[in-house]
Structures are given as structure tokens and as C-alpha cells.
Amino acid sequence: MKNTVIVGLAAFALLAGAVFARMAAGRHFAPEATQEITQTATQQTAAEAATSAAATKSAGRPATVSIARITAARATAGQRETAVARPAAATATGTTARADRHALMRNPYLEDTLYYTNDRDCWQLQSESGAADKLRPPESAMYLDQVRIAFSYAGKTWLIQMRKGQNGYLLLGGEICLCTAPADACTGAQEDLRQFAVPETSDWLQMSMELRTSRDGGATYLTDVRPYETHWLMDGYRKGQLTEFAAPREEVRIGARITFKTPEMAAAFAAELAEAGFKEAPAKDRLTGDSYCLDGADVFLLWKTVEYDCYGSPNAEK
């Protein structure tokens, strides 16, 4: 009889202990604890899982998960998500560019003081609407001058678009964008813009860009250079703000060198520059504002005030 009573008391004590432990767990982990623990377990590496299982088996007891372990695991998972979401760093000539958290998402890479787009790994390159994104009118808070030139060569229509000015309220700079379309897209009708696409890699052109931005609207200009490489989109923006937002935005100027496939192709582009209002310079080292120089398959230019759109679409906000 005495043994029966002892066994009964022991069983009661074990049952009460289990209930108390369950209630304590509920107070600590909250209703969704089971889901969090399951998610944490799936985030462990195979080595961690094997070690945990071995320790549990040798101890002969169920594994426990502490609050600190859950917090650490969730933090690790968050770091992994951030690493996946963050764009991979691009490598430029002689330097390594890094993604900057505070840059505009359209221009996520920073080299020295210049934000730019990695056109070899950008969403426009993978999307059918990539060219349309670059050719649509500037958005709100973008005060940009524009020169848009199209010409025919080798059975295609080639479009080179340049923009410069205020990109949002934080960045000053500009870009050169190359797009291609079928030969019949060179009529000058705005509807033709829908036919343009990011060019095939074989149609990308070698180019360089010199960005000159005025310091506080004065006569002193800061100069940033995008090196001479093969691109379809070359841009650059530095932190700053215009003192005068109305066109023409002379506080930002763009110098460029573009190397075309042949001298004939370069001549076709140069002829359209002259049509837009650029003056021919006697030599590439004697460029003045809004002038160009044709040198074999190379066109050198310096853009200051010209506004031109061969398709007659709306320009930047005035």
C-alpha cells in the first residue's frame, strides 16, 4: 500500500512538472514560438543540426531552444537576406566600385564621389521595358536638359540620348544612353520610340564621359571621369544641387568620346549633331561649349546648352 502511494505521488509530481514547464514555455515564447523555432531550425547549417542531434541523443533528453539562440538565429537570417538583396559590387578599370546604401536605387554604385549604374548588371538589361525606362520623360524632381539623336546605319536605327542636370534633389550629373530599333524607326514620329530596345552586346560602343559640375554656381567646375570602356549606358552623378533649375542648366556640362563601328557610322552621328546645333571644332583638343570633332571612327563632343529631340517628345521640366 505504501509503495502504491509513493508511486502515485511521483507520477503526480511528474505530471505537475510537465504542466508547469509547458506554462512557463508559453509565457516565454509567445503563441508563435513554435513557428519561429521551426524557421530557426531550417536556417541552421547541416553541421549545426548534426551537432545538436548528437548532443541531444547522448544526453537522453529533448533539445531546448533559448530566447538568445532564437534572436541570434533570426539576426543571422536577416543578414543572409540582406546579402542576397544587395547588388553585387561592380569592378571598374583600376578600382573596385561598391554598392552604397544611401545612393538612389537607380544609381547604386559609388566610385570616389561619383554614383553610377553598372550597365552590365542592371534590371533594364534583363527587361523588355528597359529601353522604355530610359527614354520616357524625366520624372518629378528631375530637371534635365536633353539631346536625343537618331540615325540609320547597317539596317538599324541607332539612338543616342544624352541628359544632364538635377537627378532628384540630391544628385547632379548626366548620362549617355544607346538604343537600337529596326530601320523604319527613324521617321521622327514619337510612336517610334516604342520600337527601341537595349542593344545586343555586339552593338555596344566604346565611350568615355567627363562630367563637369559647377561649384555653387560659380566659374569653378569639379570634374569626374567615367573611363573609356564598352557600354550601352554610361552615367555619373555626384552629390549637389543646382542654383538655377531652369533650362539650359549650364552648371552641368558633359564631355564625351564615342567610338563607332566605322568612320561612316561616326560621320552619320556627327551630321545629326550639326543638325541639332553643335558646331564642328577644328580639333578634339579645341572643343568649346556645344561643339564636336569627327576623328575617324571617333566623335568627341562638349555639351553645354543645346536642347534637341529628333522625336519631338517632351523634354525635362523647365
Based on the fold, state whether residues 274 and 168 are members of the same structural domain: yes
What's the confidence (pLDDT) of residue 179?
95
Based on the fold, state whether residues 133 and 272 are members of the same structural domain: yes
CB contact set of 86 (below 8 Å; sequence gap of 6+)? 99
Based on the fold, state whether residues 199 and 292 are members of the same structural domain: yes
Based on the fold, state whether residues 104 and 169 are members of the same structural domain: yes
What's the confidence (pLDDT) of residue 43?
44
Based on the fold, state whether residues 167 and 277 are members of the same structural domain: yes
Which three three-digit cell numbers place residue 8? 502515485
Using DSSP, state whether 30 is helix, strand or coil: coil
How many domains would you assign to the chain?
A: 2
CB contact set of 104 (below 8 Å; sequence gap of 6+)? 115, 167, 168, 170, 171, 237
What's the confidence (pLDDT) of residue 225?
92
What's the confidence (pLDDT) of residue 245?
86
Residue span of the structural domain in which 126 resides: 91-309
Domain assignment of residue 133, yes or no: yes
Based on the fold, state whether residues 200 and 63 are members of the same structural domain: no
Query: What CA–CA distance (Å, rounded) separates 238 from 226?
Result: 12
Q: Which amino acid is at 14?
A: L
Domain assignment of residue 120, yes or no: yes
Based on the fold, state whether residues 63 and 123 are members of the same structural domain: no
Based on the fold, state whether residues 15 and 96 are members of the same structural domain: no
Residue at a domain's end among 41, 56, 85: 85
Q: Contact, 101 vs 67, CB < 8 A?
A: no
Residue at a domain's end among 85, 101, 122: 85
Query: What CA–CA distance (Å, rounded) separates 247 from 227?
Result: 28
What's the confidence (pLDDT) of residue 106?
53
**What digits encode the pLDDT tens for the residues 175-184?**
999 999 998 8
Domain assignment of residue 316, yes or no: no
Domain assignment of residue 19, yes or no: yes
Peptide bond preceding 248 in cis form (omega within 30 of 0)? yes
Based on the fold, state whether residues 50 and 113 are members of the same structural domain: no
Domain assignment of residue 204, yes or no: yes
User: How does 165-175 read in b/e, with b if 16+ C-beta sit within 10 Å?
Assistant: bbbbebbbbbb
Based on the fold, state whether residues 257 and 157 are members of the same structural domain: yes
Based on the fold, state whether residues 279 and 225 are members of the same structural domain: yes
Based on the fold, state whether residues 116 and 201 are members of the same structural domain: yes
Domain assignment of residue 314, yes or no: no
What's the confidence (pLDDT) of residue 124?
81
Domain assignment of residue 317, yes or no: no
Query: What CA–CA distance (Å, rounded) separates 276 from 308?
Result: 6
SS3 of the chain: helix, strand, coil, percent, to 5 = 35, 30, 35
Q: Contact, 39 vs 1, CB < 8 A?
A: no
User: Residue ranges of the chain with pLDDT lower than 50?
Assistant: 5, 18-105, 314-318
Q: pTM for this one? A: 0.64
Residue at a domain's end among 19, 54, 85: 85
Category of 312 on φ-ψ map: left (φ > 0), alpha (ψ -120 to 50) or beta: left
